[in-house]
Copies of this chain bind each other. A is one copy, B any other.
Amino acid sequence: MSGTEIEHLIRLIARLPGLGPRSARRAVLTLLKRRDQLLKPLIDTMIDVASKVKTCSVCGNYDSVDPCTICTDINRNFSIVCVVEDVASLWAMERSRLFRGCYHVLGGVLSALDGVGPNDLTIDSLVVRAESIIVNEVILAMAATVDGQTTAHYLVDRLSECHVSISCLAQGVPIGGELDYLDDGTIGVALRARQPFI
């Protein structure tokens, strides 16, 4: 191909999730074609992000201020802490615009296979937060996977002394889900957790 810089950029872009060498090449060609509209703004924004964005020392969210805008928003209810696996889950919760409490980012889930133990996650600081008199409910919003649910059970154990009520997200048929396409596990869960029709 042409130019070691170009090849280097393709290799770096191909390391982003969801991109392979082919889509990285397309991305680089688009960047080269649209230097002023795309490549230069992208460089400037990346420099901005690299220098300004930090991890919130309270909840673990990414923001340009510490504590983050969520942790300092006086319209939020700081008595409810929603525990999420990672910042991606936090952003997903925020997009739903339904939760007005605050968050705690664990930084992953317990996983024997990947060698992730309790000390690799921010569990101690969660317990400290749950012990404070401000907090009275902890919502466990882990993924409905084996590792996610194992982590949730472990957290329930660890939070048992904290005098907070602990809840978790409901499991069942997702909105728009057709029974024919759902796995047996989901149907079983939805059946066991059936609710009176309103």
Contacts and interface: CB of A to CB of B under 8 A. Distances in A.
Interface of A: 1-6, 8-9, 12-13, 15-19, 23, 25-32, 35, 38-43, 45-50, 52-53, 61-64, 68-70, 86-88, 91, 94-95
A29 B90 CA distance: 12
A5 B49 contact: yes
When all copies of this chain in the complex are counted, the total is 2
Given A1-B95, A38-B15, A88 B43 contact: no
Nearest to A51: B5
A20 to B, nearest CB: 10
Contact of A50 (B3, B18, B35, B91): B35
Contacts of A50: 35, 39-40, 43
A133 B108 CA distance: 66
